[in-house]
Structure 1
């Protein structure tokens, strides 16, 4: 830890003294101020700063600064409300990597976040602040007007910073008024915090997971049934993260045959194949600096899976017809409604790619699991449809609301959106009624007389019927979509008295 540091024994003694003295701070603000002063003294730098993420992990703010050995907080009115636009800070934050630079004066790096001085800044060290759960909570930065290599201080500053984060959480806990419930440092945010609709417990958990991954470099795998809003969540991760000013590109891996999908993703050079009369960049190049959503990743051909794995591991691509590779900086989000673990066992999906994609999985809840969200979503879709059609907003009859809240919605949010938009088109008055919604009676549970088991059987019956209709009665395809062995599907059909001859043509 102390290799490369002048007088390592003296430095170790001074570092140990800070581990002893910093916990004596009376509150969080004093702790951060003492921390930046300690860092300045240990590193010999004229400037030290601490940046912390807010509770939603969407904003990065300057929390404490020590300049020339003295705490000199910059005028709050002159400070940016958010440092998400600073690429150097965001690189260290999102990649969870130490940044050490020498010769800032002649470099191309933008350092507007450093206070202006007559003598230019020459050296910089930026260290991620990581909590006990290994999540990045902010950044520690120190800078010098001398041209010195500060990288030797990185390991010890990382340890001291993690210690300070733990002390900060402890102080916040101790200073909470008696009887007030505990609040995590990274408290979960409501669904509306990321532009998502819904206040259910299930959506709250989804948003908590989003907040954990916004400022990390991890690949996100969005799982869940068809129609649960995987693209909407991917867009939220992009729009509320540090890449929001760059491109967000979506590619459905099931929409192209293998040869076309490869050229679409990686691009090609002139003469690579018949008809390639010019160079064409691929979607990885188009999304450089931004986010690429690979939808239906489970349908990607095996040969392309190997190329995708290399992109994830090396951050480099090679266009069709080219012998050269080049680096790309793309955040990849994958989405699928299929069970990738099952595909791995069947040999249709690479195991190494699966584990690389599943770095940070988020399972999106089905609409039937989002208690109370159906009506919020229905009103939202109705208002948007009215705005699009340039008509007055519609009210809802209680019976129409009861109808929607009692429906199982096998197609999830996508099905709800289609039903509401159709109802708005059919409605000629000012109120949405039951007759405006095309729900078959067999899918609606009776109001009374059904116990829990009977209600669950009706929901299961509807799901099986819907899947069989979609697959024209093909039992193997229906079993695959439902994630069931064919034998189990046949057993359930027999138990529910579903006649397969009804689906034969």
Structure 2
């Protein structure tokens, strides 16, 4: 037995063979667990007993990956049950927990000092807590799912248990994932979990439609992962708001969020703005100046309308993405930056690549995780939710009393196509409030080109024809007026498309009108 070579994770332990045998038994117990709640309790009990610590805690992220909840606790050899009302609703202000969560790193504090570290998440006992070890836990997809914490009342080096307990915790997370799929049991207490999801399911965005629920699910997948994201969608759909949500609810929310529109500046100026420059790099460069990449170091850089970035700059951007290195204009030295890139474009980048207007290697490097924002016309009742919110905000801005909505006005908006999407809706409501002399918004306060009469006065046929007309116009505009391509995309013979266009009175003038409306809606 003396010649048996143990893994390095047991090197610092006093009795490594005894510990390894006990650890293996804990793995077996967790594997045999058939209930999510008991598995969580078994994990904290195992962590406490293996490390000989009086306290072990398990924190799990909710389904939205935004809120941390204490799910299991073991104190002095027994499970500790605390009333939910006595626990914080979130742990955003607990710096030790948030550090371990945001940095995705093991946290070991050997000498807790109340003047240096705030630890209200630890239970009150007769003796103060003196040392702790906090470990990030990952599921089978290697996504961060929670934290495992052990604490001791004496000054003690707990770091020797980090590797083994992390393996045990990750295994438990995988088992918990499997059990939840089988019994659909939530990992957090039902009352806390339901209130959390209902409150934060939109990540600060507005909308309950199925289309937006799909967006929320995609956002949840990238909050705690450093992958680059491309946000696609028509102009005015809220691409920058989605980018801000990913930043504000993700691991980098304590760092800077910098936004730059790539179509707003000429190439030379955009290059110096992004990468910075050194003194003497060009005429007028009288001193060193850091660029936006340096300003966003540790945080997020949002590149809006990246499809309009010149090809030369695309090559420099690709270098930063691949190597994490930045070289300012006029400098011979590079330095490291840690920046998460979120890009957005209303163009189809795949089409731009095919036309040679966008680098294919950059497209694949940026497009690890695309998120498509639905146009407003596909969001159903979200139109009314947004309308009410924008009206409230506009009333506050105009310092006037709140306005009520007539049912006819809401139906009037619901029947409109909104080529300018959410941005157009916000502008329409601001104008309507200026026209409204009373405190009730009526259909006549809105001037909608595609909806001259209230939708409530239309027959079912008229409403269906309006929907079909909008669909055909969208498809024709997407295919730049090419009727053959539009018919193929719609799965129709070309002659059927021509017949429907004639029946619905669609012509080239309508397409130009739509394009002009979209162009005017852009900032």
Check whether TM > 0.5.
yes
Moved more, 420-429 or 9-18: 9-18
Q: Would you say the 8 A contact 1:368–1:412 is kept in 2?
A: yes
Structure 2 vs 1, CA of residues 186 and 502 (structure 1 numbering), >3 Å: closer, same or farther? closer
* SS of equivalent to 1:334: strand
Q: What does residue 450 of structure 1 align with?
A: 461
SS in structure 1 at match of 2:344: strand
Cα distance change, pair 90–266 in 1 and its aligned pair in 2 (3 A):
farther
Matched, 1:308 2:308: no
Structure 2: gaps (5+ residues): 488-493, 514-523
Q: How does 1:396-411 map to 2 (within 5 A)?
A: 396-411=405-420
**Is 1:161 the equivalent of 2:165?**
no
Q: In the alignment, is residue 420 of structure 1 matched against residue 429 of structure 2?
A: yes
Alpha-carbon distance change, 65 to 394 in structure 1, aligned in 2, over 3 angstroms: closer
Q: TM-score, normalised by structure 1?
A: 0.78
Shift of 1:347: 2.6
Alignment of 1:37-436 (within 5 A): 37-42=45-50, 48-66=56-74, 81-85=89-93, 89-90=97-98, 93-94=101-102, 97-99=104-106, 112=118, 121=131, 124=133, 126-130=135-139, 132-141=140-149, 145-146=156-157, 152-153=163-164, 156-157=167-168, 159-166=170-177, 169=180, 173=184, 189=198, 193-436=202-445
How far the C-alpha of 1:207 sits from its partner, in A, is 1.9
How far, CA to CA, are the matches of 2:452 and 2:251 in structure 1? Answer: 44
- Residue 8 of structure 2: SS of its match in structure 1? coil
Distance 1:13 1:370 in 2: 57
CA deviation digits over 1:211-242, x for unaligned, max 9?
A: 33223323222111111111122222233334
CA–CA distance in structure 2, aligned partners of residues 74 and 187 of structure 1 = 19
Gaps of 5+ in 1: 465-477
Work out whether residues 269 and 322 of structure 1, in 8 Å CA contact, stay in contact via their aligned partners in 2: yes
Residues 27, 171 of structure 1: 8 Å contact kept: no
Alignment TM-score, normalising by the size of structure 2: 0.76
Closer, same or farther in 2 for the Cα pair 1:327/1:494, shift >3 Å?
same
The 1:166–1:185 alpha-carbon spacing in structure 2 relative to 1, beyond 3 Å, is farther
Aligned to 2:9: 5
Deviations 1:437-484 (A, max 9, x none): 2222578788237378743442146558xxxxxxxxxxxxx96xx365
* Aligned-residue CA RMSD (Å): 4.3
Aligned counterparts of 1:220 and 1:292: Cα–Cα separation in 2: 11
Closer, same or farther: CA 265–411 of 1 in aligned 2, 3 Å: same
Task: Assess if the C-alpha contact under 8 Å between 1:93 and 1:128 holds in 2.
Answer: no
Number of the residue aligned with 1:21: 29
1:152 and 1:48 map into 2 onto residues whose CA distance is: 16
- Residue 521 of structure 2 is matched in structure 1 by none
2:432 matches 1:438: no
How far has the Cα of 1:413 moved from its partner? Answer: 0.8
Q: Is 1:59–1:82's contact at 8 Å kept on the other side of the alignment?
A: yes
Distance 1:393 1:223 in 2: 35
Aligned counterpart in structure 1 of residue 470 of structure 2, from 449, 454, 459:
459
Comparing 228-237 with 342-351, which one deviates more in the overlay?
342-351
User: Mean alpha-carbon deviation: is it higher for 4-13 or for 311-320?
Assistant: 4-13
Between 1:110-119 and 1:433-442, the stretch displaced more is 110-119
Displacement after TM superposition at 1:406 (Å): 0.8
Q: Is the 8 A contact 1:189 1:208 kept in 2?
A: no
